[in-house]
Chain A
Amino acid sequence: MFGYVRPLAPELKVKEFERFRACYCGLCHELGKEYGAAGRSILNYDFVFLSMLLWGNRESCDYCRRRCLPGLFRKKCVCSSAPALTTAAGYSVILAYWKAVDNRDDSRGGKRLLARAVCRCLNRSYKKASALYPAFDRSVRERLEALGALETEKCPSLDRAADQFALLLSSASEAAGEDARRVLEQLLYHVGRIVYIADAYADLEEDLKAGRYNPVAVRYGLTSPEPDDRIKAGVRETLLSSVDLAAAALALLPKSYWTPVTENIVLLGLPDMIDRVLAGTYVTAGKRLPKRPQLGQNGE
């Protein structure tokens, strides 16, 4: 359930897009530096968003030029290491590890082998990260366990299931400063809720085929993977209400260097993602950033 929280690139200014890309690269380098190649492989947009939120009210960002595998021949402009990037890197390792453990225990066959391999690769990184952030580690483990229990008992409430993942994400707010913590808690709660429900919707077809629990299917009593317009409208509305609340919280965060980008992500990126997920046109696999801002679907 990663990669849902991205900016709507055509609406960013070019400098903002370049900064966002530098932050993305910065997190990648941070993961590489702290956790090696295994760490780098788990890089995703959601934690780029988190590092921007954890930036605090610092009005600047230091950049440096670095080389990496995709940019072997031309150095790229990258955010230098910063406390927010270090924290986000550690958190993403912890979450990726527990997700892999979850997959290993839940799936069968090839997927299980794959998950087991991922667990083994991440094991050392995880040990380091969990020693640094024991509170987040505990919270992730507990929330995923509770979520697993709700999934086993086929919880009929969409909100109750989403609540656990939302609380998991909102516990990342503990890394923020005193003044921002409460706001961030609420903001991340709703981002987590959106990600969980959107991901469940995107997985409808696969889950129904495999006979797995899917909170959206249970909530609306779905048996076929093509929900009618009424259900789509219901899911869209409940997700957009979360966007409203996330936006209301974001407005209360102290202004930072990243505010233009984080506003774009919440106000435009999330609604756009929701519409695409509902239309079945959202692509999560392409993790790498486009070379230049991509055109919107309306050709705008």
Chain B
Amino acid sequence: MQDPYKVLGVSANASDEEIKKAYRELAKKYHPDNYVDNPLSDLAQEKMKEINEAYDTITRSRKNGGQAGSSGYTGGYSSGYSSGYSGGSAYQQAGGTYAQIRSAINAGNLQYAEQMLDSCPTRDAEWNFLMGSLYYRKGWLDDARSFFQRAVSMDPSNGEYRQALNMLNGAGSPYRQTGYGPPAQQGGCDMCDMCTAMMCANMMCGGCR
């Protein structure tokens, strides 16, 4: 087994607080919510398991003999994990063909799913949602969004459809940075002036050295 400290990216003499922080950050990064319908979700799942195990090992060894103390934390994440994955009740409720298409998409059997969808006689909200999922999985995000939008407008009450659309809109994405701001903030002459001023200042700093 790998060195648990290395897995969490901390040194062996890090404090409990530091370890918890490192664990939390990693768990957020590899959380299944970030890999819903992602073709790499199995790898993220493995990674998450590795992190959970490493954290468990460290906390247990530090508590000298495996008290239940650590499981509160791990439990929190792993339960979110499994419930995220089973996909809720909609999976089980969906009618025959759609259920088959769903499992084909989840298994990554996209060609088969596409054929099935093409041969469907009806074009209802669920059909649009599944088309969206299929395209999302393929990485065709613009088309995926159109289908999700159609699914939501046909059945606005369905939480799953809305969630899928929100995901494409970047809601809950851990990667969206705010530092450099939307285009509205950019450009404009005053910014140029500021840049020039700072570059001049920078040059002078270099000269003084």
Name 5 extra pairs, CB < 8 A, besides A158-B142, A159-B141, A271-B177: A242-B139, A275-B183, A281-B187, A296-B180, A298-B180
A245 with B140: CB separation less than 8 A: no
Contacts A/B (CB < 8 Å), 18 sampled: A157-B140, A157-B143, A158-B142, A159-B139, A159-B141, A183-B43, A193-B141, A241-B141, A248-B38, A248-B175, A252-B44, A271-B180, A275-B186, A276-B186, A279-B186, A296-B180, A297-B186, A297-B195
Task: Given A183-B40, A189-B139, A252-B40, decide whether A298 and B34 contact each other with a Cβ distance below 8 A.
Answer: no
The interface residues of chain A lying within 8 Å CB-to-CB of B43 are: 182-183, 252
Q: Which residues of B contact A299 (CB under 8 A)?
A: 191, 194-195, 198
Provide the residues of chain B in CB contact with A182, threshold 8 Å: 40, 43
Chain B residues with CB below 8 A from A279, complex form:
183, 186-187
Is B169 in contact with A295, judged by CB distance below 8 angstroms?
A: no
* Most-contacted residue by chain A among B34, B138, B175 (CB, 10 A): B175
Give the top 7 A-B pairs by smallest Cβ distance, nearest first: A159-B140, A299-B194, A247-B175, A238-B142, A241-B141, A279-B183, A159-B143
B76 interface hit (Cβ, 8 Å) = no
Question: In whole angstroms, how far apart are the Cα atoms of A12 and B139 in the complex?
Answer: 29
**A163-B140, A186-B40, A249-B40 in contact; A275/B135 too (CB < 8 A)?**
no
How many A-B contacts are there with CB distance less than 8 Å?
A: 115
Interface residues on B, range: 35 or more
Q: Find B168's partner among A237, A275, A295, A297 (CB 8 Å cutoff).
A: A237
Does residue A160 face the partner (Cβ distance < 8 Å to B)?
A: yes
Q: Could you tell me if A241 and B181 are in contact, using CB atoms closer than 8 angstroms?
A: no
Residues of chain A contacted by B159 (CB below 8 angstroms): none
Of listed B29, B183, B194, B198, residue having the most chain A CB within 10 A: B183
> Which A residues from 208 to 239 make CB contacts under 8 A with B?
219, 232, 234, 236-238
**B41 — nearest CB in chain A belongs to which residue?**
A248
> Is B199 engaged at the interface, CB distance under 8 Å to the other chain?
yes
Option from A249, A251, A272 in Cβ contact (under 8 Å) with B180: A272
Nearest-Cβ distance from residue B89 to partner chain A, whole angstroms: 26
| Interface size, A (range) | 35 or more
Instruction: Specify which chain B residues have a CB less than 8 angstroms from the CB of A101 in the assembled complex.
Output: none
Q: Give the complex CA separation of A17 and B44 in angstroms.
A: 30
Q: Which residues of B contact A (CB under 8 A)?
A: 29-30, 34-35, 38-40, 43-44, 47, 135, 138-143, 145, 168-170, 173, 175-177, 179-183, 185-187, 191, 194-195, 198-199, 202
Report B-chain residues with C-beta under 8 Å of the C-beta of A159: 135, 139-143
Flag if B187 contacts A297 (CB, 8 Å): yes
A292 to B198, CA, bound (A): 13
Q: Is A85 an interface residue (CB 8 A)?
A: no
Assembled-state Cα–Cα distance A225/B175 (Å)? 31
| Contact of A166 with B by CB under 8 A | yes
Q: Which residues of B contact A240 (CB under 8 A)?
A: 170, 176
Q: Assuming the A-B contacts A159-B135, A244-B170, A295-B198, are A251 and B29 also in contact, with contact meaning beta carbons closer than 8 angstroms in the complex?
A: yes
Q: Give CA–CA (A102, B47) in the complex, Å.
A: 42
A65-91: CB near B (< 8 Å → 1, else 0) gives 000000000000000000000000000
- Residues of A close to B173: CB separation below 8 A: 244
Chain B residues, CB < 8 A from A166: 139
Name the one of B141, B180, B198, B199 contacting A238, with C-beta atoms under 8 angstroms.
B141
How would residues 256 to 283 of chain A score, 1 for a CB under 8 Å from any chain B CB and 0 otherwise? 0000000000011001100110110100
A278 touches B183 (CB 8 A): yes
